Structure 1
Amino acid sequence: MGTGAWRPAILLVEDDPGDALLVEEMVADSPTEMRFVWAHSLAQALEELRGWQPDCILLDLHLPDAQGLEALTRLQAGAKDVAVVVLTGLAEDGTGLEAVAAGAQDYLVKGRVDPELLSRAVRYAVQRKQAEVTTAALQAGQLRAQENARLERGLLPSPRLRDAAAFGVVARYRPGRAQALLGGDFYDLVQVPDGTVHAVIGDVSGHGPDEAALGVALRIAWRTLVIGGATGVEQMSLLEEVMTAERTGPEIFATLTSIELPPDGSVARIVRAGHPGLLVHRPGSVKWIDPPGGPALGMVPGLCNWPVSELPLTGSDALVVFTDGLFEGRTGPGSERMGESGLLKLAEDAADQPAEAFVDTLIARAAEAAADHGGLTDDIAVLHLHWRTTTGSST
């Protein structure tokens, strides 16, 4: 911030023409070249601030339309990121300190200011304000990251398996571009005492803390229902009750796929509520399936039915379920997207890879395909599920 290149813009808020002239002369004689604008009242200053933002405001606390710290408070509301230096009288040292405590960056006593002191006060005030703004943004970012981390732990728990040696699961989550707002993608996996593995993956519409919190509520409700023995249509109906009770508006909905995998590995029972289809991954091959399903949760509350479909499995079959962020990235100009067929092609190309490599390759190639058109802007959750066989063919 060298004095040769930087020309700070100064807004003086002062009703006394004589004092204003003295400040203007000091600005002209300052070693730092400054741009100068004079406002005769607080109202005029606030009007000026609607059109531009100065680097520093010199504020007299005795104005015809605002007195004392009221002037500072009202000015800060209209220019929260602008440095403020308060101008006080010779007998108002305490007022200047109070103004600094209330948020001003510095104060100057009229009659004791020269061009050098004014220049230094403006430079330091701007630097202090920039440091305050940067620190506040950093703290806000840290708090947001901590909140997102807590929500993510609620959305993406560790699988609860009683026999991890018998069942293989690969779980992945990738936040959307820059993770500016956390989405409501969630998954869970629970093995109950009879050995059946239950899995769920879902996606609450929208992005933000409300949607993420709703995703957490649905995931916890799903786990509770599974442990309590509720499955199939009963489970979906109860989840929809939770959904409609907890959502912030009637436009919010959630898509979801819930799966039961009995320990004999011969079948998968699938219930879909508006969620995308899934992949069956066998060593060297992949196919897309769209089991019968019903509407997303919350679309027409209390009027839906979600059929339970049974999918026969062989010993080497794995199910791959995911949220739509995996295939909705833009891959061409305009609104051209990868879509289900594009995702299937990526999966076929990686079909000979084992479970973890298959999932990671799928996500990486989807991101690569969208890289030149804004990247993957939505969150992605993926589960790869399979019973392990003695030959380990799908691991």
Structure 2
Amino acid sequence: MARIDIANATGMSPATVTSITAELIATGLIEEVQRDADTGQSKRGRPRVDLKLRGESHVVAGMKLTGRSISAVVLNLEGKQLGKAQLPMPRPPIDRDALCRIIPEVIEKVSASAGMKPEDLSAVGIGLPGTIQATEGFVDWCPLFKDQEFNLKHLMEEILPMPVFVENDANSVAIAELWFGFGRDVPDFLVVTIEQGVGLGIVLNGQVFRGTQGFGAEFGHTKVQSEGALCRCGQRGCLEAYVADYALLREANLFKHWEDGTTEEEKLIQLFAASKAGDQMARSIFDRASRMFSMGLANLVNLFDPAMVILSGEQMQFDYLYAQHVFEMVRSSTIQKGHHEPEIRIHKWGDMMWAKGAAAYALEEVVRLAIDQMGNSETAT
């Protein structure tokens, strides 16, 4: 994009744009590139100069932690993926010692996949389930860890040679949607993630909303049944306790026998197949989950009036959460009847795309730090 186009888009004066972009070039965040002449145009005169992000100025790793695996990617500042890796996760809950072993191992492996060393990375972004104070990197509660209420950012920065940024995994998906997905042209949208738990990412005016303490939007722990089913957070009646995969299997274990060695993923597939085949007990589990989920979605629509709701996660392979009757239950329970309804979209992202969201968050933070340093040097002079 040329300087004059930036001035026209922002309303700044050309002189101000020139001054700011000169500082950004000096910082290494952007660079000049010559624009190829359009077909049919004369190549006489001075070539037009555009500005673009300087991709190699910052390269970061992002990772997503689940109960089964850790997925990681390497991105440059332009969002180009340079490498990826995946390692098995030790069986949760894990202690801090195990965490301090596995995270550096993942960084080593994903850096090598990009032909780099860990020291070449500007930062690392970590996305994980639970209540996370992103600004501080503080883990208030995470189902993957034995220890709770500790600063994961500080812990990792004691053993890693780069800044570390920690984010709730649902917010990581929201950032990924904002950078790479359906949210690129939508200023206000919600991302609902359904996997081992239920998460929510809220984007308002192009920014992720995290709440006062940094761990807002705990959609999975909103209450849908007074004194209801036990949730893994320790409370009762949470939406997650009816919709998440562990909740479905907890109910199924009461009446279904599994062969030895059957994984949780295989159990879910078998349970869903039994429901489709007419098994009444299996069907009742999914029917209840659908009702609870539609109630939760309707509440979100009534609260936020979003332009779009994006449903994402492993559970999107099972249509009980996005079947037509679920959307009809949502419509019947919202005040938007007769008005413009939010678009509901399904995005069956794999773990690597969640990791890209964590990497994008790390990129946002390293750019913020670079600009802060630029402002501090101006103040000093």
Pick the TM interval, shorter chain: under 0.3
Structure 2 length-normalised TM: 0.26
Higher relative contact order (CA 8 A, sep 6+): 2
Higher strand share: 1
